[in-house]
């Protein structure tokens, strides 16, 4: 068992066909988006906001880190799927809080744009996997820098520059291409399909939230 799904170059698990592998990635993504949709339509933002902020954020990060650990370190599909859900649910709470601030038409537009951008970046990730692999380090450094700058702007100066949202959109576009390229370079197993979908899910949701924020300013 490898410590990271994308480091796997060999497996004793059953290899599945490329189309089935991609289908499983798609179905796993749809499951996550479906859970998020259910949470948005059935859980009121007020109920989430009523939870103590420290309890909420500690629970959020604990659940996400546990989920990431489970799906990235396990080679068992069931365990990886459980880990995936430990990520999907806390993300769903954040999505619920964010989309409640916007008009439904705007949210629909953000979903449409996110879908089109995701498909485009997956195509590019398929065509140019080596390029996205080369820029992976730069993407990570850029994301960390943007997070630090945003925190300083918000909590020290009480401002937020819109250009940062565009930068984050570009970063997660790169991550989608990168993670999709990596997903197709590891052994095509059921577990790896779930793990790859989990990584893509986080990229796509972060991309969606930033696109929604940009559209909301307009």
pLDDT computed for residue 11 by the predictor: 72
- CA-based Rg of the chain, rounded to a whole angstrom? 18
pLDDT computed for residue 1 by the predictor: 44
Reference 165, options 176, 154, 178; nearest CA is 154
What are the structural domain ranges in the chain? 14-217
pLDDT computed for residue 160 by the predictor: 78
Encode the chain in three state secondary structure.
CCCCHHHCCCCCCCCCCHHHHHHHHHHHHHHHHHHHHHHHHHCCHHHHHCCCHHHHHHHHHHHHHHHHHHHHHCCCHHHHHHHHHHHHHHHHHHHHHHHCCCCHHHHHHHHHHHHHHHHHHHHHHHHCHHHHHHHHHHHHHHHHHHHHHHHHHHHHHCCCCCHHHHHHHHHHHHHHHHHHHHHCCCCCCHHHHHHHHHHHHHHHHHHHHHHHHHHHHC
List CB contacts of 185: < 8 A, sequence separation 6 or more.
129
Q: Tens-of-pLDDT digits for all 218 residues of the chain? A: 444 666 666 677 889 999 999 999 999 999 999 999 999 999 999 999 999 999 999 999 999 999 999 999 888 999 999 999 999 999 999 999 999 999 999 999 999 999 999 999 999 999 999 999 999 999 999 999 999 999 898 888 887 788 999 999 999 999 999 999 999 999 999 999 999 999 999 999 999 999 999 999 86
Angle formed by the axes of helices 77-99 and 53-73, nearest 10°:
150
Reference 27, options 89, 87, 84; nearest CA is 84
What's the whole-model pTM score? 0.92
Reference 75, options 187, 151, 200; nearest CA is 187
pLDDT computed for residue 168 by the predictor: 95
């Amino acid at each position: 068992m490898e410590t990271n799904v994308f480091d796997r170059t060999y497996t004793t698990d059953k290899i599945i066909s490329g189309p089935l592998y991609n289908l499983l990635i798609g179905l796993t993504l749809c499951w996550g988006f479906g859970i998020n949709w259910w949470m948005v339509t059935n859980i009121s933002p007020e109920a989430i906001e009523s939870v103590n902020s420290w309890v909420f954020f500690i629970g959020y990060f604990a659940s996400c880190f546990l989920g990431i650990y489970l799906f990235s370190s396990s080679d068992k599909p069931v365990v990886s799927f459980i880990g995936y859900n430990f990520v999907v649910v806390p993300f769903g709470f954040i999505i619920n809080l964010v989309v409640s601030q916007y008009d439904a038409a705007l949210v629909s537009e953000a979903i449409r744009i996110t879908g089109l951008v995701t498909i485009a970046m997956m195509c590019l990730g398929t065509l140019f996997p080596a390029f996205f692999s080369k820029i992976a380090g730069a993407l990570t450094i850029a994301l960390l820098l943007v997070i630090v700058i945003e925190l300083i702007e918000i909590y020290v100066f009480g401002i937020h520059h819109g250009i940062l949202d565009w930068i984050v959109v570009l970063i997660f576009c790169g991550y989608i291409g990168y993670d999709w390229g990596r997903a197709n370079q590891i052994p095509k197993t059921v577990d790896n399909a779930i793990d790859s979908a989990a990584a893509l899910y986080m990229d796509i949701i972060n991309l969606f939230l930033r696109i929604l924020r940009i559209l909301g300013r307009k």
